[in-house]
Structure 1
Amino acid sequence: MYIFHQFKFVIYRKKEMFVTYPRCFSNCIVFKVARSLSSLSKDINIAGSDKIKAFEEIPGPVRLPIIGNLYQYMLGKYKIERYHKVLEDLYKQYGPLVRQDFGTSTVIHVFDPDDIRTVYINEGSIPHVVPLQETAQLYRQTRGMSLGLGNVNGDEWYRLRSAVRQMMLRRREVHYYLPLVQEVATDFVKHIIRKRGENGEIENLSDEVAKWSQESAGIVCFEMRLGCLSGNLEEERAQAMVNANKVMFNLSGQLKFSLPLYKYIFTPKWKKLVEAEDFFYKTATQYVNTTINKIDDLIQRSELPEGKYNFMTYLLSRKELSRKDVTVITFSLFADGLSTTVPALLYNLYCLATNPEIQEEAYREIHRYLERDEPITYTTINKLSYLKAVMKETFRLYPIGTEISRIIPKDLVLSGYHVPANTHVNLNPHVHFKSEKYFPRASEFLPERWMRGGESSDIHPYLLTPFGHGVRTCAGMRFAEQDLHVALCCILLNFQLKYPVTDPLEQIYSTLLFPDGPVRVQFISRN
């Protein structure tokens, strides 16, 4: 009787129990029997249970043959540049699980954080992702390039990830670049002083931050100054790179919501995108080749200093990486900050400028451990708990992306619906970031909620994950965080930030989420 009771207990638990807690029952004979029957019970539940609804019953807007839901974007009901708002509307209208068809491709939007957790814990050791930009994947294929970490799956992804893991994901390796990153941030402070007007504003702050990002990434990838903040021809080239990146992300976002004719014919938008990609990649590749040639020359003359060109020499030393692999990995680390770290810094500056009391608290914390022009160390950054809370709260109010995509490897039950293996799901937790259900006083900027003793212990752990989750977490995460920490320290030690207008900063969708309009921060020098 005891055995039968235990058997029933295991069979009727939520299916995620079999995946999340198997070790707890690994010594239980009854559990082993139940696990051997799990696939059978799953089929029975899906086919015969009234509680689990069929995949075809997942709600969503009306779909048409061939074009699916694209007509709603073509006719203007849904605005591509407001895609993040479209997702919020879909959640409000249809609930925690919504189906959309982009042409003949089906996407299931997953909004509930418990469902997101279920997807993550069932994704396996080598998760299958959908590229952020399928246009970038296609471009690299047509140019015979290595696709890079974000555009491959399976064994190829594992090969690349294993090769870069030590250099890109270990704190010690990343912190080696702290003095160089601070050098660039210090020059950025001087650049702000040169560029600001009489009232402290910079005419196009977004572009100037993008130049800082290129210079900081260049010092890591190539260990040389690119001159992006120099005011000469090198800065003009940096501006051209910024402009090309804008075109790439804007057109990639537009093509996502169109019939994929560009995959078969040279459409005007695809042609324009390829021109931007060609310029951007050609320029970045020149930086890569210059660095490799320097390294080769120093090695031949036995003059390569110990600890010099760490990033590039590490990649070149990996036998499993081809020259194409080294180029595209370096290219990605160099370029990705323009679309991620740049808006993140802009949003942080805006939130600090519009919340002066919080800004002063962050300044006092930094000043407690760091004097202006004093070297920033890993130990110092570790102490800046309030600044890190500011960054996290900024990610809540101003997320960088709309979704994380997965192709699920097994059948799952999400919000009571059967979702079969190999389905494309988009995880969209951002619809809850301003919800009182998950964040009390959600409309307020409250870094304290992330501090120890605050609300953080009550916040769902799968709700706010700005760099992703698990083994497919953003490979450049530690470099991005370090850039933000150092830049904010240098800026706050030198400037008081103000915002001269009351209109709130909005976001616009362009593959990722960027500020919709100028970020009018005033930089007032501190005595």
Structure 2
Amino acid sequence: MGRQLKHARGSVTAANGSIALESLFQRPDTASANALRQPRPYSELPGPKAYPVIGGIINYLPGGRFHKKQFMDIHRECVEQYGPIYRETFVPGIEFVHISDPKDIEEVFRSDSQHPIRQAFFMLSHYNKKYNENVQGLLTSQGDDWSKIRKNVQQKMLKPKAVAAYLPEHSIVADELWNHVMALRNQEKEVDDLRPILDRYAAECVGVVCFSKRLGAFSDLSPESDAQRFIQAVSVVMDISQKEFKELPWYRLFKTASFRKLIEAQGFIREIAVKYSREALEKFSQDSAIDGEHGDLIPYLLSKTALSEREVLTIICEFIFAGVDTTSHHLSFVLYLLGTHPEIQQRVYQEIKTTLGDSKEITEREGDISGPETA
């Protein structure tokens, strides 16, 4: 049975009750070799109480022990009560094993299958089934289908030369972020809320990668501007996707309020994706050399891979909302950690200063900054 994984801010969950987490139940440094050969059964895993028919979803409903609590607070509470490995049943048939030890997290990731079955983005998958001819993207596809899409995308997306192609434009976006933050500082030289600004920055970065286009997110945006509606739609999709585990899946039977919001948000994201994809295609004539390494991601995926046009559009839509959410969140964490560890911040600054020297631009050479010294 394949591992089913979901990485959720601070913990990794492995879904499917049939998994024998042999090396996770008892670590080699604390258990005898004989104990490792006889792992405890899955049924002995502790966790929040689950009930027949409705499972443990009741814990998230009004009156439940987890109602309105943040995931990290729930996870911390469960780790304190049940230990570093615990089981949670949301609804019958959907179970998760939560782990919190970094060594266990690494072990699960390293043992992951090349054809994973992942328990996440259920509502988005249902949306694709009903409104996208059941074409799934990287976030919602499973097993062999996921492997096929991943293989076609990673050929260029993960190569250093492909990433380096975006450095000049991303450097400009980063400079604009800096100028925007400086302009918004108050008398104490602080910004009241940085997250919305980082969302704008991430949106600009995604626009550069997906469409070779600037969205104008640092401009004074009207509520009806493409950039503002785009950022809002991304926020809606990610918020609903994170909260879907706290609700019964009534959306499979009828259009719930959450599902209606998802439909509207996804509709606008797809509208933007189609609009800007066409503009990107017009930039590259049939005689242009398309290699996926010069800001021509969409033309490359359409002409040089086995992906269909609908699959490419679905992947681009996922790049959009997942890229904005992931970039802004991770950058928030990095800035917070640097701010709370000034000695590390100084080391990072010195390394960047040494690498760049008097250069005003970051090229592929300067972009190759090693990590160990600043880790």
Distance 1:354 1:372, change over 3 A: farther
Measured in 2, the distance between the counterparts of 1:305 and 1:317 equals 8
Distance 1:236 1:356, change over 3 A: farther
* 1:228–1:235 Cα contact (<8 Å) kept: no
* 1:365–1:384 Cα contact (<8 Å) kept: no
Q: 1:247 aligns with which of 236, 242, 258?
A: 236
Q: 1:339 aligns with which of 314, 325, 330?
A: 325
* 1:80–1:254 Cα contact (<8 Å) kept: no
- Once the two structures are TM-superposed, the CA of residue 308 in structure 1 deviates from its matched residue by 5.0
| Aligned residue number for residue 362 of structure 1 | 348
Distance 1:236 1:196, change over 3 A: farther
Mind listing any 5+ residue stretches in structure 2 that lack a counterpart? 1-20, 24-33
* 1:228 corresponds to 2:217: yes
Q: Quick check: which has more Rg, 1 or 2? A: 1
Measured in 1, the distance between the counterparts of 2:209 and 2:41 equals 50
- Once the two structures are TM-superposed, the CA of residue 210 in structure 1 deviates from its matched residue by 1.1
* 1:97–1:108 Cα contact (<8 Å) kept: yes
* 1:138 corresponds to 2:115: no
Q: 1:60 aligns with which of 41, 47, 54?
A: 47
| Aligned residue number for residue 450 of structure 1 | none
| Aligned residue number for residue 156 of structure 2 | 167
Structure 1 residues 481-505: Cα deviation after superposition (integer angstroms, max 9, x where no partner): xxxxxxxxxxxxxxxxxxxxxxxxx
Alignment of 1:413-424 (within 5 A): none
Distance 1:388 1:332, change over 3 A: farther
* 1:151 corresponds to 2:140: yes
User: Could you tell me the percent identity over the aligned residues?
Assistant: 29
Structure 1 residues 330-386: Cα deviation after superposition (integer angstroms, max 9, x where no partner): 222233222111011122222333333433332222112224762213433434536
Alignment of 1:103-142 (within 5 A): 103-104=91-92, 105-112=94-101, 115-116=104-105, 119-120=108-109, 122-131=111-120, 133-142=121-130
Letter in 1 for 2:147: Y
* 1:207–1:242 Cα contact (<8 Å) kept: no
Measured in 2, the distance between the counterparts of 1:81 and 1:248 equals 20
| Aligned residue number for residue 26 of structure 2 | none
Alignment of 1:83-102 (within 5 A): 83-102=71-90
Distance 1:50 1:152, change over 3 A: closer
- Once the two structures are TM-superposed, the CA of residue 155 in structure 1 deviates from its matched residue by 2.2
- Once the two structures are TM-superposed, the CA of residue 213 in structure 1 deviates from its matched residue by 1.1
User: Over aligned residues, Cα RMSD in angstroms?
Assistant: 3.1
Measured in 2, the distance between the counterparts of 1:68 and 1:185 equals 46
| Aligned residue number for residue 56 of structure 2 | 69
Alignment of 1:211-226 (within 5 A): 211-226=200-215
Deviates more, 1:133-142 or 1:370-379: 370-379
| Aligned residue number for residue 277 of structure 1 | 266
Q: How many residues in Structure 1 have an aligned counterpart in Structure 2?
A: 341
* 1:226–1:234 Cα contact (<8 Å) kept: no
Q: Could you say what secondary structure the match of 2:86 adopts?
A: strand
Distance 1:56 1:385, change over 3 A: closer
Letter in 2 for 1:84: M
Alignment of 1:303-452 (within 5 A): 308-371=294-357, 374-385=360-371, 388-389=374-375
Letter in 1 for 2:235: K
- Once the two structures are TM-superposed, the CA of residue 50 in structure 1 deviates from its matched residue by 11
- Once the two structures are TM-superposed, the CA of residue 116 in structure 1 deviates from its matched residue by 4.4
* 2:49–2:56 Cα contact (<8 Å) kept: yes
Given the two structures, how large is their TM-score scaled by the length of structure 1?
Answer: 0.58
- Once the two structures are TM-superposed, the CA of residue 196 in structure 1 deviates from its matched residue by 3.1
Measured in 2, the distance between the counterparts of 1:261 and 1:129 equals 21
- Once the two structures are TM-superposed, the CA of residue 97 in structure 1 deviates from its matched residue by 3.1
| Aligned residue number for residue 523 of structure 1 | none
Letter in 2 for 1:67: I
Q: Could you say what secondary structure the match of 1:149 adopts?
A: coil
- Once the two structures are TM-superposed, the CA of residue 272 in structure 1 deviates from its matched residue by 2.3
- Once the two structures are TM-superposed, the CA of residue 148 in structure 1 deviates from its matched residue by 0.9
Given the two structures, how large is their TM-score scaled by the length of structure 2?
Answer: 0.80
* 1:184 corresponds to 2:173: yes
Measured in 2, the distance between the counterparts of 1:305 and 1:156 equals 25
* 2:114–2:147 Cα contact (<8 Å) kept: no
Distance 1:158 1:270, change over 3 A: same
| Aligned residue number for residue 18 of structure 2 | none
Kindly indicate whether structure 1 or structure 2 has the higher relative contact order, using CA contacts under 8 Å at least 6 residues apart. Answer: 1
Letter in 1 for 2:213: M
Distance 1:359 1:117, change over 3 A: closer
Mind listing any 5+ residue stretches in structure 1 that lack a counterpart? 1-13, 17-44, 390-527
Letter in 2 for 1:95: G
Q: Could you say what secondary structure the match of 2:352 adopts?
A: helix
Structure 1 residues 186-235: Cα deviation after superposition (integer angstroms, max 9, x where no partner): 22222223333343333432111111111122112211222122335599
